[in-house]
Structure 1
Amino acid sequence: MSAKTISIIIVTVLLTIFLMVNTEPVDFDFLVATVPVSKLLVIGICIIIGFIIGFVVGRPRKTVSSYDDEIEKHQPVSNKKELSDEDRDYIS
């Protein structure tokens, strides 16, 4: 197993233990009503929302070079610039 897999298993086990220990009800104020809710439910929902936000924020974004590639795909063939023989010699 890789270190990443082991660390994910350890964090999952610790999170599960943490949630199972905190099962007593707490009063949750929602707008005008107070509702008794299990701590497990409140903490679990907060963790899930945190993972979703982290996933959305952590996604790779399109870079400037990928936008340039998109622009080149939509240009007519005559507007694309070809390398000169001198440029090809310099690169290689």
Structure 2
Amino acid sequence: MKGKTIFIIVVTVLLTIFLMDNSEAVDFNFIFVDDVPVSKLAVIGICILIGFILGFLAGRPRKTYSSYNDEIERDAIEEKPKSTLSDEDRDYIS
């Protein structure tokens, strides 16, 4: 197994043990509601899930477009000849 796979398995096991150890209900105060009994397991699990989603969205590569890439694609489609030398330049070279 690769090191990355082993690391993911170990973190997942430790996280599962941590969540199962904190399963009792506690009172939480939300924005408009006071003293709602909620399982610590649910609160921690939701926070971890939101963290993974935000980390995935922040860490993925962005698609970037530039005029240079568009120009290369346009040239490939139009199949222009590669030489853009003028007749004077060709005479000078030869």
The TM-score with structure 1 as length reference comes to 0.72
The residue number in structure 1 matching 2:41 is 40
- Following superposition, the deviation at residue 40 of structure 1 comes to 0.4
Q: Which has the higher strand share?
A: 1
Across the two proteins, how many residue pairs are aligned to each other?
A: 83
Aligned pairs for 1:50-69 (under 5 A) are 50-63=51-64, 68-69=68-69
Judging changes above 3 Å, is the alpha-carbon distance between structure 1 residues 73 and 33 closer, same or farther for their aligned structure 2 residues? same
Q: Note the C-alpha offset of 1:7.
A: 0.7
Change (3 A) 1:45 1:84: same
Counterpart AA for 2:59: G
Q: Which residue of 2 aligns with 1:70?
A: 70
Task: Provide, for residues 10-67 of structure 1, a one-character-per-residue CA deviation record: whole Å limited to 9, x for no partner.
Answer: 00000000000001111111222121100000000000000000000001113466x6
Tell me which residue corresponds to 1:89. Answer: none
Change (3 A) 1:46 1:81: farther
Letter of the aligned partner of 1:70 in structure 2? Answer: D
> Could you give the per-residue CA deviations for residues 59-85 of structure 1, whole angstroms, max 9, x where no partner exists?
1113466x632343346838x683569
Long gaps (5+) in structure 1: 86-92
Structure 2 runs not aligned, ≥5 long: 86-94
Q: Which residue of 2 aligns with 1:90?
A: none
Q: What are the residue-to-residue correspondences of 1:1-92 with 2, within 5 Å?
A: 1-34=1-34, 35-63=36-64, 68-74=68-74, 77=78, 82=82
Q: Aligned equivalents of 2:83 and 2:28: distance in 1?
A: 67
Q: Provide the C-alpha distance between the structure 1 equivalents of 2:37 and 2:81, rounded to a whole number of angstroms.
A: 68
